[in-house]
Structure 1
Amino acid sequence: MRELVVLGTASQVPIRARNHNGYFLRWDDDVFLFDPGEGTQRQMALAGVSVTAITRLCVTHFHGDHCLGVPGIVQRLSLDNVAHEVVAHYPASGAEYFANLRRASSFYEVAQVREEPVVAEGVIATGPFGELHARRLDHRIETFGYQLREPDSRRMVPEKLAEFGITGPAVGALQREGGELLERVSEPKPGQRFAFVMDTRLCDAVYDLAEAADLLVIESTYLHADAALAEEHAHLTARQAARVARESGVRTLVLTHFSQRYDDLSLFHEEAAAEFDGEIVVATDLARVRVPRRR
Structure 2
Amino acid sequence: MSPRELIVLGTASQVPTRRRNHNGYLLRWDDEGLLFDPGEGVQRQMLLAGVAASDITRLCLTHFHGDHCLGVPGIVQRLSLDRVAHPVHAHYPASGREFFARLRHACAFYETADLREVPVERDGPVATGPFGVLEARRLDHGVESFGYRLVEPDGRRMVPELLARFGISGPRVGQLQRAGSLEVDGRTVALAEVSAPRPGQRFAFVMDTRLCDAVYALADGVDLLVIESTFLDEDRALATDYGHLTAAQAARVAAECGVRCLVLTHFSQRYDDPTRFHAEAAELFDGDIVVAEDLTRIPVPARRIVPA
TM-score by length of 1: 0.98
Q: Secondary structure at the match of 1:134?
A: strand
**Structure 1 segment 213-232 matched on structure 2, within 5 A:** 213-232=222-241
Alignment of 1:235 onto 2:247? no
Q: CA deviation at 1:165?
A: 2.4
Partner of 1:70: 72
Q: CA deviation at 1:170?
A: 2.7
Counterpart of 2:59, as a letter, is L
Q: CA deviation at 1:168?
A: 2.9
Counterpart of 2:271, as a letter, is Y
Aligned with 1:271 (options 280, 285, 297)? 280
Counterpart of 1:99, as a letter, is A
Q: CA deviation at 1:281?
A: 0.3
Partner of 1:118: 120
For structure 2, the 5+ residue unaligned runs are 182-188
Partner of 1:196: 205
Return the alpha-carbon distance in structure 2 between the equivalents of residues 81 and 177 of structure 1. Answer: 41
Partner of 1:81: 83
Counterpart of 1:146, as a letter, is Y
Partner of 1:140: 142
- Computed over aligned residues only, the root mean square deviation of the Cα atoms, in angstroms, reads 1.0
Listed one character per residue, the Cα deviations across residues 100-139 of structure 1 (whole Å, up to 9, x for unaligned) are 0000000000010000011111111011211101011111
Partner of 1:175: 177
Alignment of 1:55 onto 2:64? no
Aligned with 1:210 (options 198, 202, 219)? 219
* Range 179-188 or range 233-242, more displaced: 179-188
Listed one character per residue, the Cα deviations across residues 39-97 of structure 1 (whole Å, up to 9, x for unaligned) are 10011111111112100000000000000000000000000111111000000000000
Return the alpha-carbon distance in structure 2 between the equivalents of residues 280 and 167 of structure 1. Answer: 41
Partner of 1:153: 155
Q: Secondary structure at the match of 2:127?
A: strand
Q: Secondary structure at the match of 1:90?
A: strand
Partner of 1:127: 129
Return the alpha-carbon distance in structure 2 between the equivalents of residues 230 and 51 of structure 1. Answer: 34
Which one has the bigger strand percentage? 2
Q: CA deviation at 1:225?
A: 0.2
For structure 1, the 5+ residue unaligned runs are none
Counterpart of 1:147, as a letter, is R
Q: Secondary structure at the match of 2:190?
A: helix
Return the alpha-carbon distance in structure 1 between the equivalents of residues 133 and 127 of structure 2. Answer: 6
Return the alpha-carbon distance in structure 1 between the equivalents of residues 164 and 235 of structure 2. Answer: 60
Return the alpha-carbon distance in structure 1 between the equivalents of residues 87 and 180 of structure 2. Answer: 34
Aligned with 1:162 (options 161, 164, 167)? 164
Identity in percent: 72
Q: Secondary structure at the match of 2:263?
A: strand
Return the alpha-carbon distance in structure 1 between the equivalents of residues 275 and 172 of structure 2. Answer: 54
Q: CA deviation at 1:169?
A: 3.0
Partner of 2:185: none
Q: CA deviation at 1:282?
A: 0.2
Counterpart of 2:139, as a letter, is L
Larger radius of gyration: 2
Aligned with 2:17 (options 4, 15, 18)? 15
Partner of 1:44: 46
Counterpart of 2:77, as a letter, is Q
Counterpart of 1:215, as a letter, is L
TM-score by length of 2: 0.94
Return the alpha-carbon distance in structure 2 between the equivalents of residues 127 and 193 of structure 1. Answer: 15
Aligned residue-pair number? 295
Return the alpha-carbon distance in structure 2 between the equivalents of residues 263 and 167 of structure 1. Answer: 58
Partner of 2:186: none
Q: CA deviation at 1:173?
A: 2.3
Q: Secondary structure at the match of 2:103?
A: helix
